[in-house]
Amino acid sequence: MTSRSPIVFGELLVALGLAGLGLFTIIGSQDISTGGGYSQIGPRAFPYMIGAGLLALGGILCWQAVSGGWRNVPQDEAHNEPDWLAFGILSGAILLHMAAIAWAGFVLASTFLFILIARGFGSRKLVRDIVVGLVLSTAAYFIFTRALGLNLPAGLLGGL
Amino acid sequence: METLNALLSGFAVAMTLQNLLLGFIGVTLGTLVGVLPGVGPALTVALLLPATSSLDPTGALIMFAGIYYGAMYGGSTTSILLNTPGESATIVTALEGNMMAKRGRAGPALSTSAIGSFVAGTLSVIMLTAVAPLVVNLALKFGPTEYFSVMVLAFITVSTLLGSSMARGLASLFFGLWIGLIGIDGQTGQARFTMGIPELLDGIDVVVAAVGLFAVGETLYLATYLNKIGDTIEQVKGSIWMSKSDWGRSWKPWIRGSFLGFPIGAMPAGGAEIPTFLSYAIEKKLSKQPEEFGNGAIEGVAGPEAANNAASTGTLAMLLTIGLPTSATAAIVLAAFQQYGLQPGPLLFDTQPLLVWGLIASMYIGNVLLLVLNLPLVGLWIKLLSIPRPLLYGGILIFATLGAYGLRNSWFDLLLLYIIGLIGFMMRRYDIPVAPTIVGMILGPIAEQQLRRALSISQGDPSIFFTHPISATVLVIAFLLLVGPPIWKRIASKKHPPVGGATAAP
């Protein structure tokens, strides 16, 4: 692996992931019960085809990754300085929202989500974010539950 | 005559107060969300899908058509003022329109795009009205064999004509097809790839997938890589109205763009990108001032915008008459139909004529509403563009999670949303197009069904796809699209050592 242009490990990883998914699909297809149907081709055939396609494309992309990199990838200098802190804050925000929504309710969970996302994008105006988040979540809650008939959890604010 | 009667009864449906109001709300919401930077038409449509869930099918689809139109128009406004095309079909608008805006001509650029959209929208709905019954008659002759072949063609074109690499486009398509496998097999009732998770038995909902890929993925990507880079919004100075010479230079490109966009958009190999680029090239060639192109020529906005709009109507024509979505946005519209257990296609014209023709009639109305709404409200849309990023993406995420959670109030859908968002983030980072995934996941199960029907008819003999003439022709075209470009590239770059091998598209 001493190719002249450096291997982008992300590309290799994505390609291996695809090939792996293809392999998993082919193997997993054998576990699908054919259900004894009358049809000429059962529920396994299409998954086999897709698994084979994923495996082949993953292979091609692996080969491209080790032989000079993926083709025609636009060079983007922004990729040199990833802001993983922001990535982490956003991820945490979404996962916290997932954990909180059922008991805290839509309005509180969404307001908190909003504040964290804004923080991830570098906002330092906490009061503004709380107010905007609260107004937006409350408005969305009433529009979707009252006018559009969607069911959203009221949670801690349910008694109000 | 029959068509005219059908259309008139469609207008009777669309002109009821409730449906007019829904159309108006749809157009307004579509524009409102579509104009937000970073929110393309596909995401707009996916985000607003839950908003239609409590309506009757006709009303919901009329509102949805409005959302679709509004989203297209909103995207153009963003392209012109911000130079961030939400999707590849508005790249040309972004290029030329943003140059106009930089030279202080944002007003006329927005006007020519709005009026051009109206002209093209109306012309192409007229074409749709005229062509639909013919296509329906043709499509009624289609058996499963032909359907499967046409879908293969759509798969190939969606994944190879766009984006910068055929291998990555196809990888995205196959990933979408794989997502489409998850859930219960419609024909035998067997669970597939659910990994023992009961929530996956229904499959992955298109709203979760589209919102995850487009909204969560894009938000993560922006925060991680691009947050330090600021946008510059061009100000709208002076009059928004077009001068006499602007009109003179715009009307022909509008009409040419419409006639270019609709037929190409309506083909399974279509999409909106090719007609916009073609229109740009033609207008440049025909212009008396070709040197202005690249520096803000109004023809370069008028033509491609009309072509884009006409092509999106063409895509809808394809969806309505054959049931085939050829863009990510159309794929989500198809999901909206499926929400009501409706399958667009030739049979729908028979079984639900009032719904189909009401929808078509509402497109005529939607175009008028869009024009009435947009010219006076340009100032408001511009304000939306200057929402600070932290607030904008905070808001987008509130609605993204609402859409995913509201489906069945399950935290699992939010986890899925995040996982798909991570995949979208990686796809964006490594330049893998997202649209083929969406088309693959929605069209995949339908294609599988047709494949299995075709093969049961032929008793398992796959040669059926080559003995039926329509099917054979379509498959040959698909094959040429797959192998043609790489071979062409090899011949063209004979003097250089072949770099891309058999996998890189030009």
Amino acid A19: pLDDT: 95
Neighbours of B2 (CB within 10 A): 7
CA distance A48 to B382: 50
Amino acid A37: pLDDT: 55
| A160: closest CA of chain B, how far (Å) | 21
Tell whether B117 is covered by a domain: yes
Give the confidence band of B504 by pLDDT, cuts at 50, 70, 90.
very low
Number of structural domains chain B divides into? 1
Tell whether B3 is covered by a domain: yes
Report the residue from A41, A70, A148 with minimal CB separation from B54: A148
Which of A75, A83, A98, A143 is the best residue to mutate to test the B interface, defined by the most B CB atoms within 10 Å of its own CB? A98
Segment B152-202, tens digit of pLDDT: 988 888 888 766 788 999 999 999 999 999 988 877 778 888 888 888 888
Higher per-residue confidence, A114 vs B161:
A114
Segment B143-161, tens digit of pLDDT: 889 889 988 988 888 888 7
User: Poorest-confidence range of A23-32, B98-107, B266-275, B348-357?
Assistant: B266-275
For every residue of B319-352, DSSP letters joined together read: HHHT----SHHHHHHHHHHHHTT---SHHHHHH-
Encoding tokens for residue B221?
Answer: 């990507």
CA distance A114 to B446: 38
Q: CB–CB of B36/B387 below 8 Å?
A: yes
Mean pLDDT over each residue of chain B, to the nearest integer: 84
Tell whether B42 is covered by a domain: yes
Inter-chain touch B220–A43, beta carbons under 8 Å: no
Highest-confidence segment of A127-131, B330-334, B400-404: A127-131
Amino acid B498: pLDDT: 44
Residues of B in contact with A148 (CB under 8 A): 50-51, 53-54
Task: Annotate B55-106 with three-state secondary structure.
Answer: CCHHHHHHHHHHHHHHHHHHHHHHHHHHCCCCCHHHHHHHHHHHHHHHCCCH
- B329, pLDDT greater than 50: yes
Amino acid B237: pLDDT: 67
Tell whether B454 is covered by a domain: no
Encoding tokens for residue B395?
Answer: 């808001």
- B273, pLDDT greater than 50: yes
CA distance B43 to B219: 12
Tell whether B10 is covered by a domain: yes
Residue B183 φ/ψ, nearest 5 degrees: 120, -165
Higher per-residue confidence, B29 vs B500:
B29
- A51, pLDDT greater than 60: yes
Residues of B in contact with A74 (CB under 8 A): 164, 431
Domain span at residue B320 reads: 1-144+206-419
Report the residue from B417, B430, B451 with minimal CB separation from A10: B430
User: Poorest-confidence range of B88-92, B105-109, B214-218?
Assistant: B88-92
3-state secondary structure of B192: strand
CA distance B71 to B446: 27
3-state secondary structure of B191: strand
Amino acid B505: pLDDT: 38
- B497, pLDDT greater than 70: no
Give the confidence band of B294 by pLDDT, cuts at 50, 70, 90.
confident
Length of chain B: 506
Tell whether B381 is covered by a domain: yes
Tell whether B437 is covered by a domain: no
Q: What is the four-CA torsion angle of B324, B327, B332, B336, rounded to 10 degrees?
A: -40
Encoding tokens for residue A45?
Answer: 């055939």
Residues 99-138 of A with CB under 8 A from B: 99, 101-102, 106, 110, 113-115, 117-123, 129, 132-133, 136-137
Task: Annotate chain A with three-state secondary structure.
Answer: CCCCCCCCHHHHHHHHHHHHHHHHHHHHHCCCCCCCCCCCCCCCHHHHHHHHHHHHHHHHHHHHHHCCCCCCCCCCHHHHCCCHHHHHHHHHHHHHHHHHHHHHCHHHHHHHHHHHHHHHCCCCCHHHHHHHHHHHHHHHHHHHHHHCCCCCCCHHHHHC
Task: Please compute the mean of the pLDDT values over residues B125-142 and round it to a whole number.
Answer: 88
Give the confidence band of B52 by pLDDT, cuts at 50, 70, 90.
confident
Amino acid B506: pLDDT: 36
